[in-house]
Amino acid sequence: MKLALVLTIFVLLGHLVTITMRKILQVEKRGVFSRQYLSEMHKKMEWMIRITFLVMLVAGVILVGTGAVRKIFWFMQPHVLLIITMFMTELLRAVMEWKHEKNRNAYIFTLSQLALIIIFMIVLFLTDLLVWYG
């Protein structure tokens, strides 16, 4: 119940902040799961991040599954890999927006969204709402 309440509050606050930031910075609305690459280099680098994520995920599963290691390293755990991958792709997007986007405020908007996600993760960690931290 606490998790549902925190998630609802965060989604509502996040949506409000996103709308406000978009209006202040005059940034166009992007699709939630759409991938719009700003250059060919952006596309290649993002795919390199994704492939690295998948290789590390498979390596972790194989190491634990075969008994090569008893406990997987903290940075090889799927949720940690997912958070790192998300952080890296959004940071890459912000850098590419800073370099290639016509609207120079786009990278500020992306960094503000990334900051919101980081704050959310910290709140979840500090309140012991995540199963893997509990």
Considering the entire predicted model, what is its pTM?
0.78
Of all residues in the chain, the percent with pLDDT exceeding 90 is 29
101: nearest Cα among 44, 46, 42, 48: 42
CA 52 to mean position of chain CA atoms: 15
Of all residues in the chain, the percent with pLDDT exceeding 70 is 85
Question: Is 60 exceeded by the pLDDT of residue 130?
Answer: no
Residue 36 vs residue 72, higher pLDDT: 36
Q: Give the pLDDT confidence score for residue 5 in this predicted structure.
A: 77
Looking at the chain, list the stretches that DSSP marks H as alpha helix, in order from N- to C-terminal side. Answer: 2-25, 40-65, 78-100, 106-126
Q: Give the pLDDT confidence score for residue 33 in this predicted structure.
A: 62
CA distance 8 to 86: 21
pLDDT category, 133, cuts 50, 70, 90? Answer: very low
User: Is the CB of residue 90 less than 8 Å from the CB of residue 113?
Assistant: yes
Residue 126 structure tokens: 């500090």
Question: Is 90 exceeded by the pLDDT of residue 131?
Answer: no
Per residue in 35-51, pLDDT (tens digit) is 788 899 999 999 999 99
Q: Give the pLDDT confidence score for residue 134 in this predicted structure.
A: 43
Residue with tokens 């940034």: 27
Per residue in 106-122, pLDDT (tens digit) is 999 999 989 988 888 87
Q: Which residues contact 30 (CB under 8 A, 6 or more apart)?
A: 36
Residue 30 vs residue 133, higher pLDDT: 30
Per residue in 14-28, pLDDT (tens digit) is 889 889 989 999 888
User: Is the CB of residue 24 less than 8 Å from the CB of residue 104?
Assistant: no
